[in-house]
Amino acid sequence: MENFALTETPQRRLPWLAALLSLLTPGLGQLYSGRPKRAVAWFLVAAVAGGAFYGARALGLIAENPGILPAVYALLVAIWIGAIVDAWRVAAQAGSIALAWYNRWYLYLAIVLLSGLAGLAVPTPSAQTQPFSMPSGSMIPTLVVGDIFQVQTDAYRSAPPQPGDVVVVTKEAGGRSFVKRVIGVAGDRVQMKEGRLYINGAMVERKDEGPFTDPDNGTGTATLTQYEEILPNGRRYRIVELSDKEFFDNTPEFLVPPGELFLLGDNRDSSMDSRAIGEFGFIPLGHVLGRVLFISGSLDPTRIGMKID
């Protein structure tokens, strides 16, 4: 039994005031009504839910799974409303109570202010996404014509792109955007020899995944060969090729300059990318608009929600 009362004349608890206090800080209305343990319980529930929401946003989980966002907001609102309704009910049941040491207006004010300051002290996760559409087959099979995909525009605020990332870039500031895969970073040596990718002199492993059929692949034939390519850092993804004897299947060795990237399309025989030095070439880090996260729309409903690796 909770017994924190001071010796003084009992005072009536006002349900509307209890509800208002819990609107400001979940659990505060319960404290006002002489139920400190109940107050702590509501405060912890709200804090844990809010912390989980913050962590999910900071880790990019919500940006990668946008379908859960309405459910998360609904849960947070339900917790807040529950605390308010419970505060009203507890105050109505309490009637008049002998005030305890915590039943002081300045303590209520301090709790509200401290809660607000704590919220302000936690940096807001800045994950921002922007939709783009896929107009060509240069990134088949990862992205196909008609796909709408979400790009995290602040993905590289604290760290540069890594080999294997699918990124949206521009060749010049404010120019047309392109989506390609990062293959080489500053200092890497990249080359194509007989259709095989070499990084720093070593052939990149690839596994035959069989035929791939798509009439919009841009090569003039509906059937390509699909491979799983495995970069030196362990990143795995799929590419398609018409053959190992096409125009860009033999190139000189490219040394990636400082502050720039070497990019390739996953549809290797139908992609204008860093192999075309005079027309595309290396891309400065400052021209990277963001990292592709997932497909949010498509002519093929089964592709919606697919994460991009």
207 is catalytic: no
Q: Which of 136, 180, 274, 298 is catalytic?
A: 180
Is 138 noted as a catalytic residue in this protein?
Answer: yes
**Which residue out of 115, 136, 138, 274 is catalytically annotated?**
138
HEC string for the chain? CCCCECCCCCEECCHHHHHHHHHHCCCHHHHHCCCHHHHHHHHHHHHHHHHHHHHHHHCCHHHHCHHHHHHHHHHHHHHHHHHHHHHHHHHHHHCEECCECCCCHHHHHHHHHHHHHHHHHCCCCCCCEEEEECCCCCCCCCCCCCCEEEEECCCCCCCCCCCCCEEEEECCCCCCEEEEEEEECCCCEEEEECCEEEECCEECEEEEEEEEECCCCCCCCCEEEEEEEECCCCCEEEEEECCCCCCCCCCCCEECCCCEEEEECCECCCCCCCCCCCCCCCEEHHHEEEEEEEEEECCCHHHCCCECC
Q: Which residues are catalytic?
A: 138, 180
